[in-house]
Structure 1
Amino acid sequence: MLNALTDLVAGRVFANVAKADTVKPFITYQAVGGQPINYTTGEVPDRENTRVQINVWASAHLEATTLGKQVEIALRTSPNLQAEVLTGRAATYDETVDAHGTMQDFSFWN
């Protein structure tokens, strides 16, 4: 997933949070759940599903919206990821870092 996103923001992709002085735009991501596989036989599955929220942060709303769409396209078209889009992009604003953002959830199998 990281390889598909790093070129969009000159490598500024961070797990969970970025430092307050990080140059915008940047991307954060976090695991927010997934779809467990449960076998009645007690076997341990050889794959896992992870639901990941991708957050885009920028100086202006339009920039965040545009970059959010680029993230979705990059994940949808990456041949190695097989990402599934779970939600539409939601707009947000973070006062602590004065950043406009978008949030969107994706599903990945690994």
Structure 2
Amino acid sequence: MLEEAVFSALSVLADGRVYPDEAPESTQRPFITFQVVGGRPNVVMAGPAAARNARVQFNVWAETRLGATALMEQLRVIVCDRSAAGALRGTPLGEPVSLHEDDTNWYGSRMDFSLWYSLRVPD
């Protein structure tokens, strides 16, 4: 499934602090969150195809602006990698957006990617 592929690919970043949707409240920075925020349908004459597309939004959070920018660049390199078996092979759907949370003084970055994957329903 897509979530397993994302965890596997990004576990080398942020000491493995990669979470779907949102991080637990006490999570130490830096960390990464991701959400599927749409995608392109892939339907063939026989019905839905096995190849699926997801628009995935990644958010990184760090102590400083430079830390967030560096972590997003590391994430971009991994998500767009096409050289390794099992790579996510993502395509950016824009450039990073800088984020800052005034009440927590957290620095972040957000970026969307298009990811193709095969649907595999858990046993």
Shift of the alpha carbon at 1:98? 3.2
**3-state SS of paired residue (1:21):** coil
Q: Which residue matches 2:120? A: none
Decide whether aligned partners of structure 1 residues 87 and 103 sit closer, same or farther in structure 2, where only a CA change above 3 A counts: same
> 1:77 is aligned with what amino acid?
D
Name the counterpart of 1:55.
59
Following superposition, the deviation at residue 94 of structure 1 comes to: 2.4
Superposition RMSD in Å: 1.5
1:36-55 equivalences under 5 Å are: 36-39=41-44, 41=45, 43-55=47-59
For normalisation by structure 1, the TM-score amounts to 0.89
Cα displacement string for residues 21-44 of structure 1 (whole angstroms, at most 9, x for unaligned residues)? 1100000000010001234x4522
> In structure 2, what is the equivalent of residue 100 of structure 1?
107
| 1:23 matched to 2:28 | yes
**Unaligned stretches of 5+ in structure 1?**
none
Equivalent residues, number: 109
Residue in 2 that maps onto 1:7: 12
Give the partner amino acid of 2:53.
Answer: N
| Secondary structure in structure 1 of the residue aligned to 2:113 | strand
Write out the 4+ residue segments of structure 1 that deviate beyond 4 Å after TM superposition.
none
What's the TM-score once normalised by structure 2's chain length? 0.81
Residue from 71, 82, 88 that aligns with 1:67: 71
